[in-house]
Amino acid sequence: MITWHCQPFNELSTHILYDLLRLRCDVFVVEQNCPFPELDGLDTLPSTQHLFALQDNQLVAYARLLAEGDSGYSSIGRVVVAPQSRKDKMGHTLMSHAIKHATTLWPTSPIKIGAQSHLENFYKSHGFITVSAPYMEDGIEHYIMTREPEVTR
């Protein structure tokens, strides 16, 4: 059975925090061979929410939700699924939960993401539209994509 949780940093247990940081580093830094400053100071902001799924007490999916900032957008980032759960379409389930939580927390705020270009169609399937030319971030091609608050799924 999969259980979903959405919590601010100060409510995360040390074990959950370790597991989610390990998953992020294992995928974004090691698997994608992309050394970058993974710990960027945004995890601990009081408005940041950490969405994660546990299956048999194992972390299987994670996304970071950021409140509306100076840009006028909320954001979903650090979207990651554990390798053993990717075959189960967990990425789609994760994005559905992330969008639901972001729109519940910040109902009038559009959502902005920095999507790796190979995942553009994945995010389009969740109501995001591409609003930028491709750009390089940490050696990986990305697009800025947005989702307006009136889009429903």
Summarised one tens digit per residue, pLDDT across range 18-68 is 999 999 999 887 777 777 667 788 999 999 999 999 999 999 999 999 998
CA 135 to CA 128: how far, in whole Å? 17
**Fold that domain 2-147 belongs to in CATH:** Aminopeptidase (3.40.630)
- Decide if 24 contacts 78 (C-beta within 8 A): yes
Q: What is the pLDDT, as a whole number, of residue 37?
A: 67
CA 20 to CA 29: how far, in whole Å? 13
Percent of the chain with pLDDT over 70: 95
Residue ranges covered by each domain of the chain: 2-147
Number of alpha carbons in the 13 Å side-chain half-sphere of residue 118: 2
User: What is this structure's pTM?
Assistant: 0.91
